[in-house]
Copies of this chain bind each other. A is one copy, B any other.
Amino acid sequence: MSVESEVMKMAKAAKAASKELACCSTEQKNRALYAIADRLFKDADYIKKENSRDLAFAKEKGLSDAMIDRLKINDSTIKAMAEGLKYVAGLEDPVGQLSQSWKRPNGLEISKMCIPLGVIGIIYESRPNVTIDAAGLCLKAGNSVVLRGGSEAMNSNIALSVCISHGLKEAGLPPDAASVIPVRDREAVTCLLEQEEFIDLIIPRGGEGLIRFVVKNSSIPVLKHYKGVCHVYVDEGADFDMAEKICINAKVQRPGVCNSMETMLVHKSAAREFIPMIFEKFVSDKVVLKGCEKTCQISAIAEPATEDDWYAEYLDLVLAVKIVESMDEAIEHMAKYGSSHTEVIVTRDYARARQFVRDVDSSAVLVNASTRFNDGGELGLGAEIGISTSKLHAFGPMGIKELTTSKFVVFGNGQVR
């Protein structure tokens, strides 16, 4: 069978399964999630054996230790995946809920009812746990899922998908509701992106190159997140202890993630006192500092920043620092160089806090808290499937609710126009 017809067959089967899934009960979906979790433990040896084939191949190909580490499945990875599934089972099921109801003058009673999207295609790189995490969340929201992981994790992903199929069957749900495309060739991705008839949404998870490729080639709507160039603005008159705590946390606690701070903006009247104070901390945390001209005048620790630094998503212990004349300049800087992801103001001023929240056009705007809170779990959405930095359908962390849509339901007694 050609790659194209194989992918189409899977997408078509997923669509058929999605119709069954859309009508099944919360209990049935939760039973499937628990059954999959059980399967992970029962089939642990098989999963680890398949994973070791991927690891051997990765070593042969000379992949970096960091990449090999991300690929590895051990008992604790398996436990984490199983616990993730049980956590998702505990989340509220949005499907079938009525979000609004109203009555028209002609007597029609109208509601908006939450329904699954249908079939979600997930294209991801490296970590095989995404296979389980993404499938669990999609299934709980009543969607089928077609997964296409990185070719370096192919055997692991297929083993995990076997567990999912068994779990679905045990709960009396169609096993086609979740599948992994077992094709290494990149052609499989292109084919997947053409299944507009059967797939309702594509979520790419990976580097900017992968995401741009998906957007360019997809006829299916894409929910995407290019990068996180997050800012903290330390306002005139800010509480410096609070600002320091927030900036250190935003930069240092986990520098490799999208909601860490990449650029710190400091009001000119705060700079002379605050910058030497926080730079000392940054240096003791091994953060490399790149400063604007004025910053470098205040502290010799920073090396001069170039224009590229303001756009950079370092994902590392590197920070760009700029002194601004006003909050307006800070907001303009964020709009020009940022990625609409997460911006923070540290301030004591009520009016500026309000203006910042209104004027900053990012998926999360925070006052006096770390950028690291722009995360589905931290915001209280439960598990998340990614963070959208484009505005359609979802802007910011996407939880289970963002994997659904709603239809209009109308009850009448013979009304006509």
A379-416 at interface with B (beta carbon < 8 Å)? 379-380, 390-393, 395-397, 405-416
Residues of B within 8 A of A366 (CB): 409-412
Contact (Cβ within 8 A) B242 A414: yes
Mostly, the A contact residues are: mixed
Contact (Cβ within 8 A) B392 A405: yes
CB contact between A373 and one of B115, B357, B417 (< 8 Å): that residue? B417
CB contact between A415 and one of B115, B373, B393, B417 (< 8 Å): that residue? B373
Instruction: Looking at the assembled complex, report how far the CB atom of A293 sits from the nearest CB atom of chain B, in whole angstroms.
Output: 27
Residues of B within 8 A of A380 (CB): 102, 104, 110
Contact (Cβ within 8 A) B216 A219: yes
Complex Cα–Cα for A201 and B221 (A): 11
**A245 touches B (CB below 8 Å):** yes
CB contact between A364 and one of B196, B253, B405, B410 (< 8 Å): that residue? B410
**A363 touches B (CB below 8 Å):** yes
Residue-wise interface mask of A (204-238) relative to B, using a CB-CB cutoff of 8 A (1 in contact, 0 not): 00000000000110010111000000000000000
Complex Cα–Cα for A71 and B365 (A): 46
Q: How many copies of this chain?
A: 2
Which interface class (under 10, 10 to 19, 20 to 34, 35 or more) fits A? Answer: 35 or more
**A182 touches B (CB below 8 Å):** no
Instruction: Looking at the assembled complex, report how far the CB atom of A193 sits from the nearest CB atom of chain B, in whole angstroms.
Output: 12
Residues of B within 8 A of A239 (CB): 414
Instruction: Looking at the assembled complex, report how far the CB atom of A102 sits from the nearest CB atom of chain B, in whole angstroms.
Output: 6
Residues of B within 8 A of A393 (CB): 221, 392-393
Residues of B within 8 A of A115 (CB): 361, 391
Sample of 19 A–B contacts (CB below 8 Å) = A22-B359, A108-B373, A115-B391, A118-B361, A200-B390, A201-B392, A242-B414, A253-B416, A353-B411, A365-B409, A366-B411, A369-B411, A369-B415, A370-B416, A372-B416, A373-B412, A373-B417, A379-B410, A395-B406
Knowing that A104-B378, A108-B373, A201-B392 touch, tell me 13 more A-B residue pairs with CB under 8 angstroms. Answer: A19-B335, A22-B359, A110-B380, A117-B391, A117-B392, A200-B390, A245-B416, A368-B412, A369-B410, A369-B414, A373-B415, A374-B408, A379-B408
